[in-house]
């Protein structure tokens, strides 16, 4: 990967990180502004549903932030763009689409198929051990 591409990918990650941090801050401010003393049961239900939705979004943003930080760390230590399984280069096209990708497409698909087999076999299955 050339340095121009690496720089652009890093800028994309840093921009996305900033956006996610701003979303989290806005979410936290909204939580601080909400008054928990809603009397009407219907309104209370709406407030609770809103809180759960914001909580799910917050958890999703935390996962994304962790993935971004992992990609930035990989950039700093020189392992960015290298598949963690086969140690081949991850194609630039994939990194542009998913800058946080740690697996090449082949290894990602293989891992997903294996995970699907494990889920399909169910808990306690010994079929995968044979």
Q: pLDDT per residue over 47-99, tens digit each?
A: 677 778 888 998 999 999 999 999 999 999 999 999 999 999 999 999 988 88
More reliable by pLDDT, 96 or 130: 96
Say how many CA atoms lie within 13 Å of 124 toward its Cβ.
0
Q: How confident is the model at residue 99, as a pLDDT?
A: 86
Q: How confident is the model at residue 16, as a pLDDT?
A: 94
pLDDT category of residue 22 using cuts at 50, 70 and 90: very high
pLDDT score of 40 more than 70: no
CA–CA separation, 22 vs 58, rounded Å?
Answer: 11
Task: Give the predicted TM-score (pTM) of the model.
Answer: 0.70
pLDDT category of residue 116 using cuts at 50, 70 and 90: confident
Is the CB of residue 110 less than 8 Å from the CB of residue 83?
A: no
Q: How confident is the model at residue 55, as a pLDDT?
A: 87
């Amino acid at each position: 990967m050339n340095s121009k591409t690496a720089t652009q990918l890093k800028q994309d990650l840093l921009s996305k990180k900033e956006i996610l941090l701003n979303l989290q801050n806005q979410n936290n401010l909204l939580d601080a502004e909400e008054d928990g003393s809603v009397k009407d049961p219907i309104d209370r239900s709406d407030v609770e549903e809103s809180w759960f939705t914001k909580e799910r979004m917050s958890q999703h943003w935390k996962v994304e932030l962790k993935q971004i930080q992992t990609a930035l760390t990989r950039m700093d230590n020189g392992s960015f763009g290298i598949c963690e399984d086969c140690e081949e280069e991850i194609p630039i096209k994939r990194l542009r689409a998913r800058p946080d990708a740690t697996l090449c497409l082949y290894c990602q698909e293989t891992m997903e198929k294996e995970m699907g087999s494990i889920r399909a076999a169910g808990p306690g299955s010994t079929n995968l051990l044979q």
